Structure 1
């Protein structure tokens, strides 16, 4: 049943993508990803998760970080159907009021590093359940620091969307037709010697860049 649902989801997203008129922002950054021989970390806000595979450049292989929560099983199957290798594990957003459980975060982090060092790019969300939404976690900054791979901020929005207001991230379900904007930001390189203060600076920089990409996409959709 979950596999069938994931196939339907992939089919729906493909239909949405094909039916929309595309606008790409930051094409030089996309071209850089396409042409580089090195790997990178592609990220977006969690609310963009369904359309995330459509931001991936076709010349690369990818691993994706998937939560080990039971509700994420369909997402793991969906990732495999889109050609990504799921890595199971996650962190915990600062909005959580429950005791932090072992989410296999350390093992997942090591696995992502291995993928990045073996010609496989990584894509993951910058904010972490249960939120706050659009608040960048430190994990992605640490991943960039230890791997010495750049972070590529991205956003993808459609003109016709259903926004799940009750979801912690105001999750987006895209609908077909109209315009679709894919926005790529400038790569962010985190120095290996970055201390806690610098890590926070880069965390805020990535957060700002992702929000600006979303604002740019929304502006183009309204224009």
Structure 2
């Protein structure tokens, strides 16, 4: 009797998973299409980001070097990996808002709302992939708008890796944008001692938790020559990728070290 009951419960658990998945997909679709719900959710996310930002003690951040680097090379393309969204508040300190490039997909609408509430302007484009594929996705208008923002003196914040691609692998899109716009790329990495990693997420996204220690590192600017060929673009893509991984590993080592 007990064995039958256990088997029944297991069967129900397995069969109910597709139902739960369908319900989540339906709920997510409603969130994406409901302007009011999206605004409320974005507000909650921003409130949490600010809590994490203010409650974590920044144990490693060379603010003078960062300010000098951004001032000397501005406007720049500041970049990090997907799943590092809690870095964003660091770029609202300077008075004049930065510009964030956000994917054109409907799934990225929440990200756009969040960064706008944090004081960013947004440009909707898809910059992770190579330029030919970006054109196929209809992102040319967004890339041109990005260039105009840079020409107007606004630094840009964007992700280096390709959405739903390989985590911690830089795409060719960002170096292609740097070649097209003439703006140098500045890699950064942020980590906190208290964090939750979503292991099943494609980007191993991190939810930074409050009341811990944090570290933020800036890498050296990477310039892409306007006449860079495919081989040079690949070389600089790898340089950016290695720089981002090195900075993130360094940030993790800093916050995970005994206090």
For normalisation by structure 1, the TM-score amounts to 0.90
Larger RCO of the pair (alpha carbons < 8 Å, separation 6+): 1
- CA drift at 1:90: 1.1
Identify which range, 183-192 or 198-207, moves more after superposition: 183-192
Pair 1:77 & 2:113 matched? yes
- CA drift at 1:4: 1.1
Seen in structure 2, the aligned counterparts of structure 1 residues 119 and 91 have a Cα distance that, compared at 3 Å, is: closer
| Matched-pair contact (CA < 8 Å) for 1:55–1:156 | no
Identify which range, 30-39 or 196-205, moves more after superposition: 30-39
Taking the aligned partners of 1:133 and 1:56, their CA distance within structure 2 comes to 24
- CA drift at 1:33: 4.0
1:177-196 per-position Cα deviation (integer Å, ceiling 9, x unaligned): 11011111111111122111
- CA drift at 1:36: 3.6
Name which of 175, 178, 187 aligns with 2:221.
Answer: 187
Q: Which runs of 5+ in 2 are unaligned?
A: 1-36
Please say which structure displays the higher CA radius of gyration.
2
- CA drift at 1:55: 3.2
Pair 1:141 & 2:175 matched? yes
Q: Which runs of 5+ in 1 are unaligned?
A: none
Question: What corresponds to 1:41 in structure 2?
Answer: 77
Pair 1:32 & 2:68 matched? yes
Name which of 145, 150, 158 aligns with 1:124.
Answer: 158
| Matched-pair contact (CA < 8 Å) for 2:129–2:172 | no
Question: What corresponds to 2:146 in structure 1?
Answer: 112
Which has a greater percent of helix? 2
| Matched-pair contact (CA < 8 Å) for 1:46–1:125 | yes
SS at match of 1:177: coil
For normalisation by structure 2, the TM-score amounts to 0.78
Question: What corresponds to 2:25 in structure 1?
Answer: none
Taking the aligned partners of 1:101 and 1:111, their CA distance within structure 2 comes to 14
The ranges of structure 1 where at least 4 consecutive aligned residues each deviate by more than 6 angstroms after the TM superposition are none
Taking the aligned partners of 2:221 and 2:134, their CA distance within structure 1 comes to 32
